Amino acid sequence: MNKAILKPGREASLKNGHPWIFSGALRSLPSIEPGEILPVESARGDHLGYAYFHPKQSLAGRMLTFDARDPLDAVVQSLRRAVEFRRTTILSEITNACRLVNAEADNLPGLIVDQYADVLVLQIGTWGMERLRPTILKFLADEVRPRAILEISQSGSRLSEGLQPVREPLLGEVPEEIECLEEGVRFIVPLEKGQKTGFFLDQRENRAQLRRLSRGKRVLNCFSYTGGFSLHALAGGAKEVVSVDVSQPALDFIPRQLALNGLDQNFSRAVCEDAFRFLEEQSLEYEIVVLDPPAFAKKKKDLPNAINGYRNLNRTALAKMPQNTLLLTCSCSYFVPRESFELMLKQA
């Protein structure tokens, strides 16, 4: 039986639950097609679980299970556990949008599933998950039972594995946009033409925190996209919110969403401009400033330039912010570690 065997001493990370196997840790890997699932053994012959492999990638293997379970059964069990966890901890009468499946965090590396009300958006980023597509779709259709499923698989990791980008409906009739609830705030999510899967669900808790801090405050939201932070600030009682983004179509969602939530349009102003230029040219007489830029580092080699970019952005804002102004600043760059980001802020 084909199997992947590690070099001596390289099993420690797997025994600690880390799901990645780099090519340098492998003593032997049989000739396989990308995405094939193999049992993984230590150099001493101990069974460590099952992983899918790509023989031409430096990140050669990703674990699906750390025990002797059938890997297909393990995938279904991981899907079920992920869905049940979100149903019991996030989804409720006031929130019907969340990341239902979050890749490695749910023992499903290469797979992301976002839920927007009764529509799912699927991302498959690796050959391994591509081969598991029938199992995944059957589970989602049978157990989640969405009205529609849209696939948006266009990540850099997918392209680097030799897979073609995909953007197409997989089930039902996918609407161009859909209304969702997040902590009682109503949003319009552009499914067909939006960024990522339509909305930045990972900022849910930060938006809720901003809402709690915004009463009576003037808030500047840079890189606002469709106004997620802006709506929560206004819902929290902000007396003025300025939303800055380079995309006018994205900004056009803000007044529609204000009307949807019964919020006063007079407290909101949208500025279609490069956020860097806005920060450089405008005075920042606000009590709260939000900086949520796009990823500056899409590859590991981009890290030095990304840190410089974040430093310049935050330094520009901090230099103009009045004393006691709150700064909510973010990085969505996977290759920027938390420690590096915090050090950058101290330097800024």
332 is catalytic: yes
Rounded-to-integer distance, Cα 278 and Cα 272, Å: 10
Amino acid at 76: V
Kindly tell me the burial class for residue 91, based on how many C-beta atoms sit within 10 Å of its own C-beta (0-12, 13-18, 19 or more). Answer: middle
User: What are the residues facing 59 on neighbouring strands?
Assistant: 22
98, 180, 222, 332: which one is catalytic? 332
- Phi-psi map region of 117: left, alpha, beta (phi>0 left; psi -120 to 50 alpha): left
* Residue (of 262, 201, 209) closest to 226 by Cα position: 201
Amino acid at 186: R
Enter the tokens of residue 162: 């030799």
Do residues 3 and 40 make contact, with C-beta atoms less than 8 angstroms apart?
yes
Widest distance between CA atoms in the chain: 70
Active site residues: 332
